[in-house]
Amino acid sequence: MAQIKFRQNRKRQGSPRTDLDSKGARCMVLYKNCKLSAAIIMICIPQFVACSDITGKNSLPSYILAAGSYDAGNISLAKDLAEKILAVDPAFIPALVLAGKTAFFLGDDDASIRHFEDALRLIPRAGEPALWLARSYRASGRMEDAKDITRILLSSDPDCIPALRLSASISLEMEDTVTALAFLDKALEAAMECGLAFVDRAAIRWAGGNASGAIADLEAALTILPVDSEASLAAQDVIERIKVSLDGR
């Protein structure tokens, strides 16, 4: 099966963020304001530059700038800033992960693999770097390596849905449909637990008089729970009971 390359259209699976410890009140205020939205981050980036010291020993302010650029979709700038941080502090884990992600989206698989391997050497079995390393291996065609990393990741977190889905994709590309379906079955089981968490919260909300919140949680659960499963049917039943009780007021 032909290897599919994900480049600029690779979906970002979240982005790292960290709080600023001690670079001055002005930087802290900027961070708290700028984390509200990507649009605001873009406005505040020039001000971040003014209070960020990429060549200094404190990497956190510089990382805030890099992470803000990443959130705002400026992948190239985020990569450059992350690389500058690593030139000064090569063991700064958040910058390693960010540099790996940006390299991944820019199609530089060798660089992304290098950064994520460095991160794993510093924190073995770490979930996020391991997951992204597996994605990078897969993108570069190193299927067996990707498979090994996902196996290690799932050994410590067997219900990790992103890792299960990635394992299924790897198996499918290796033309192992049976194994791919098994991974997806496991992912659906794990997702069902998420759906049941919505049901549990709905019960608490309903008991507390928050009927609209309970309905919202149950409707969210229905998007996750398998269709016609006992849990799904029960959630639908409770929604109807809540609506009837609201109509009877």
CATH number, domain of 43, equals: 1.25.40.10
User: Both 120 and 204 in a single domain?
Assistant: no
pLDDT higher than threshold 80 for residue 101: yes
Q: Is residue 182 part of a domain?
A: no
Mean pLDDT of 97-121: 95
Q: Is residue 212 part of a domain?
A: yes
Mean pLDDT of 193-216: 90
Q: Is residue 155 part of a domain?
A: no
| CA distance linking residue 109 with residue 95, whole number of Å | 17
At residue 58, the pLDDT reads 65
User: Both 130 and 194 in a single domain?
Assistant: no
Q: Is residue 10 part of a domain?
A: yes
Q: Is residue 175 part of a domain?
A: no
pLDDT higher than threshold 80 for residue 123: yes
At residue 124, the pLDDT reads 77
Q: Is residue 164 part of a domain?
A: no
* Domain count along the chain: 2
User: Both 78 and 195 in a single domain?
Assistant: no
Percent of all residues in the chain with a pLDDT value above 70, rounded to a whole number = 76
The three-point CA angle 132-138-142 to 5° equals: 120
User: Both 17 and 89 in a single domain?
Assistant: yes
Tell me the CA distances in angstroms from 106 to 11, 12, 44, 78, one per residue in order. 12, 12, 24, 11
The residue range of the domain holding 248 is: 190-249
Domain stops at, among 77, 110, 139: 139
Domain stops at, among 76, 104, 139: 139
User: Both 135 and 231 in a single domain?
Assistant: no
Give the contacts of 114 (CB within 8 A, at least 6 positions apart).
100
User: Both 43 and 132 in a single domain?
Assistant: yes
Q: Is residue 165 part of a domain?
A: no
Are the beta carbons of 167 and 159 closer than 8 angstroms?
Answer: no
Q: Is residue 224 part of a domain?
A: yes
Of 89 and 49, the structure prediction assigns the larger pLDDT to 89
User: Both 8 and 91 in a single domain?
Assistant: yes
| CA distance linking residue 117 with residue 78, whole number of Å | 19
At residue 138, the pLDDT reads 96
At residue 248, the pLDDT reads 64
pLDDT higher than threshold 60 for residue 163: yes
Mean pLDDT of 36-49: 45
Mean pLDDT of 49-58: 48
User: Both 119 and 7 in a single domain?
Assistant: yes
| CA distance linking residue 205 with residue 215, whole number of Å | 9
At residue 27, the pLDDT reads 39
pLDDT higher than threshold 70 for residue 1: no
At residue 243, the pLDDT reads 87
User: Both 38 and 98 in a single domain?
Assistant: yes
Which of 1-10, 38-47, 85-94, 178-187 has the least mean pLDDT? 1-10
pLDDT band with cut points at 50, 70 and 90 for residue 249: low
Tokens matching residue 199: 């049901």
